[in-house]
Structure 1
């Protein structure tokens, strides 16, 4: 059995930490500075981690390669098994035209661009994050905003900033599930703690979106529905993540938030003279990205009245009427029901799996075994580490439940088997590089964790003392800003956070959750998300302008999260972590 030593370089924890961090340096420099593809950067970092594991930590070559194999497999199952099947469900709705119906139904809820930003970028973006993640919310919601009359730069900015609070529970809870699996912390504890941090962001972000669209005037005129939406999302995210289902957290929160927003908007028309004030303005320098708080007008004169929502001539279930050069599509009630049906199916399937008898039955489909040829002991306790045990829970896995949801959806929507199969193949093709990247990043994480590199860095960081709780979200923020994935950031830094917490007297769940919660704020800065936003809105080459536009908001919200986590580590807000 291999037992790593925390300070292999001359008994110095500091020098050992510098060497242990080399794979991360390689990864971040290649990806963030040299702009080399993520999977190649991860592959180079993996090679560096194997060299450090063998040459510095004395890990046998066979065990180091074996740990990389186990990590890659974990990246494929259960992580990408979740993402592929979630995105497949979404892809079927696109291929059958039902996604267009859903998009139009959201666009018709309000003709006020400030509230459209909240509806589309925050609520619907959260639903997309829950189901697909990996850049889909930014790409799709930004295009939808342009269709509603937003100028491209403003649409991209709003979509980037909105893609924050839902990220920790994105892709059916993949980031927190990964964090739990790698750290050995109970999923319920990790989910519960994250669910007591990110809701604060959810309450703030919709009001921030209103400000981005229409400045202080927008906040003054529409703060109530925006805040009500954010608060509803926050409450639903807290309740679902703590007491109902990790996987359904963002789905429930998004649907509940948009429902509350609609109620408040309709109530506002009864007690506010003239109803909600329309977003107006000439658009100013919205396209340049300097921003003066004026609303994007989408080509309107900007002299008054509501900015018109751009009509949509794309096809889908429904009938169209033509006025001038515009085509307005009217969807039947049946078409609207079918558009929302896939999300209802997912909720129902996951709700059924929570029934004790069904849950017990599904658990019989789990195969738990020690990974052959991998015998590693904890560097401190000397006990075998839990991460060498592989849980092939093929039946109760979240990805399997999503596959079942997709099959049921295909049957209910009368999707031909060939269409469903082609959608699945197209999904695999779209995700091929993401699959390779995630598998490689998880291989890197496993080599660093099992060789002792992560433990060395964690023990060194524990020397930060009281500042550790304040700084812990920054690690997650950095990880996501570079990798573009909260899942990858949790894989890279999750065990490090737990190790540092145990050696500093903090609750491991608090710092592990802080890694994920802080990470969501790096999403808007990641090169991948910026490139996706620019490509989707026709702003190729203007990624630096988008970065300058959102970096201030990312840092400001990160500061809020750092303060929150620090206070949660003290008696001031420690009560928030109590069950």
Structure 2
């Protein structure tokens, strides 16, 4: 019976990893399989299957797809207005040492892009920039795959963790804090690993870079943890990335690195970016940060009244069904769109231009939209039918109280299959909490184990075929997919093992 409960997930593994079927087609068939199994073997009525599907569509569209479309639109608009060119120029003017530029662009700016847009931008853009300024393309892609392992859980304004909270019933702020704590060892280690890779895999590449690596790590981790704990997941990685970029730039100015072995060609003859030009280029992203901060719990005068503008609808009326709430104004997607239109207008784009960019963004994301709706609807059908609960019981029966050791691994499988931390949290979030409940975990430990799904999703992002394909496309080199995958697996395996130990021993601390 458990194999039939697993059938939608097993189908996704086969369809995406072996048959190489397009994601939207594979996920639509997975949805169909879940409905057939739910109605045929789990006594789910046709009406309840339809209601579960509708609830999945509602969750997918508001707020998940709204945030994704808004975030990608903001990025595309910055390309259209040439604001991204100014940002690139500002970043590459900091140092002539490739190790410094790899940390600044791959670690700092890549984390910023993940927090703002997600969905491959944090690999594609930094890797393309690094290759474009003369860094070996394979090296550029490799360091960006490592860098993207940390911020993935907070991508697109924290949508994976917000979604995980919706699926599991846990507070997203708690999940964000726990995820940050679980990822802390990798966050501290990541800049060092990137620097070693930047030096061709040799430890001597750390010469003169130790202070900068520590500053880049702590500059990322501390703001991320503070924001995650006090505000939630939406701005945690954005704050961490800004902190990291500030730390790297500060170290580059205070402790300049001038090793000829890692020197890049100088572009000092280029006209420098003015303060006004830089501010205008960053404005859409600055406004997103300001709007999300102003409407957060830190500003109750705005947060409380705006969160009253909502509608609750009971979509699924079967056992376990609860009203689904649409928050109409105080939702990240709306605020991001507002920031994008204001920023684009200041940068000189007319309303017609911006609407045209928005239309192209939606069209380009059409398959992603179908995929996410299908994945979330599949998870809802599986959850309400009882399929997820049966999978959890089987997993616990096989591992017993050691289940937390494999929680992160399960999360990584979800991202490996779908290429998305959000989809992984939808697919396996309920499984994690059901399994935690089955082993008698306290409510705090249940949230800790649920957070492990997001932590594991970060590891899975490194080896996801989708991430590899994006990296290859961004550097313009064909036929290196296998080489990059082999590289990423060397980091994925120890990462998942360490995360398993952290989750297992950490549950007793938080619980």
Of 504, 516, 523 in structure 1, the residue corresponding to residue 454 of structure 2 is 516
Q: Could you tell me how far 1:470 is from its partner in structure 2? A: 1.1
Q: Measure the CA separation in 1 of the matches of 2:438 and 2:260.
A: 55
Q: Shift in Å at residue 278 of structure 1?
A: 4.1
Unaligned runs of 5+ in 2: none
Whole-angstrom distance in 2 between the partners of 1:339 and 1:199: 31
Are the aligned partners of 1:79 and 1:178 in contact in 2 as well (CA < 8 Å)?
A: yes
1:4 maps to which residue? none
Would the aligned equivalents of 2:114 and 2:156 in 1 still touch at CA under 8 Å? Answer: yes
In the alignment, the residues of structure 2 paired with residue 234 and residue 459 of structure 1 have an alpha-carbon distance, to the nearest angstrom, of: 35
Q: Which residue, out of 264, 283, 291, partners 2:251?
A: 264
Q: What corresponds to 1:339 in structure 2? A: 281
Pair 1:223 & 2:210 matched: yes
Residue 307 (str. 1) matches residue 264 (str. 2): yes
Contact 2:94 2:249 in 1 (8 A): yes
- Say which of 81, 88, 96 aligns to 2:66: 81
8 Å CA contact 1:218–1:279 kept in 2: the answer is: no
Q: Report the Cα distance in structure 2 between the residues aligned to 1:436 and 1:175, rounded to whole angstroms.
A: 17
1:551 equivalent in alignment to 2:493 = no
Counterpart of 1:178 in structure 2 is: 163
Cα 1:278/1:76, change in 2 over 3 Å: farther
Alignment of 1:135-534 (within 5 A): 135-214=120-199, 215-269=202-256, 275-280=257-262, 306-308=263-265, 328-354=270-296, 355-371=299-315, 374-377=316-319, 384-386=320-322, 389-463=323-397, 464-506=399-441, 507-534=445-472
Tell whether the 8 Å contact from 2:81 to 2:348 is kept in structure 1 after alignment.
no
More displaced stretch, 501-510 vs 556-565: 556-565
Whether 2:37 is the aligned partner of 1:52: answer yes
Distance (whole Å) between structure 1 residues aligned to residue 142 and residue 208 of structure 2 = 21
* C-alpha contact 1:268 1:276 (8 A) present in aligned 2: no
What SS does the corresponding residue of 1:545 show, helix, strand or coil?
helix
Shift of 1:276: 4.1
Between stretches 398-407 and 30-39, larger displacement belongs to: 398-407
- 2:501: which partner in 1? 563
1:540 is paired with a residue of what secondary structure? Answer: coil
C-alpha contact (below 8 Å) 1:70/1:443 kept by paired residues: yes
Native 8 Å contact 2:181 2:225 kept in 1: yes
TM-score (norm 1): 0.84
CA distance in 2, matches of 1:199, 1:110: 27
Match of 1:108 among 85, 90, 93: 93
Q: Distance in 2 between matches of 1:96 and 1:397?
A: 26
| Structure 2 CA distance for aligned equivalents of residues 264 and 137 of structure 1 | 23
Alignment of 1:119-138 (within 5 A): 119-138=104-123
Contact 2:173/2:231 (8 A) holds in 1: no
Task: Kindly indicate whether the alpha-carbon contact (under 8 Å) linking 1:179 and 1:494 is maintained by their aligned counterparts in 2.
Answer: yes
Runs of 4 or more, structure 1, over 4 Å off, are none
Alpha-carbon distance in 2 for matches of 1:478, 1:255: 30
Q: May I ask how many residue pairs the two structures share in their alignment?
A: 503
Q: Distance in 1 between matches of 2:321 and 2:181?
A: 29
Q: Give 1:487 deviation, angstroms.
A: 0.2
For the residues of structure 2 that align with 1:542 and 1:412, how far apart are their CA atoms? 41
SS of structure 1 residue aligned to 2:311:
strand
Contact 2:141 2:472 in 1 (8 A): yes
Residue aligned with 2:326, SS: strand
Q: d(CA) in 2 for partners of 1:558 and 1:102?
A: 34
Unaligned runs of 5+ in 1: 1-15, 270-274, 281-305, 312-319, 322-327, 378-383
Residue 298 (structure 1) aligns with: none
Task: Tell whether the 8 Å contact from 1:469 to 1:562 is kept in structure 2 after alignment.
Answer: yes
Which sits farther off after the overlay, 34-43 or 211-220?
211-220
Task: Name the SS for the 1:561 alignment partner.
Answer: helix
Does structure 1 conserve the Cα–Cα contact (< 8 Å) formed by 2:172 and 2:232?
A: no
Aligned alpha-carbon RMSD (Å): 1.6
Query: Is 2:174–2:232's contact at 8 Å kept on the other side of the alignment?
Result: no
Structure with greater helix share of residues? 2
> 1: distance between equivalents of 2:406 and 2:261?
39
Query: Matched residues in 2 for 1:459 and 1:27: separation?
Result: 21
8 A Cα contact 1:480 1:489, kept in partner: yes
CA contact (8 A) 1:143 1:537 kept: yes
- Which has more radius of gyration? 1
Per-residue deviation, 1:329? 4.5
Shift of 1:227: 2.1
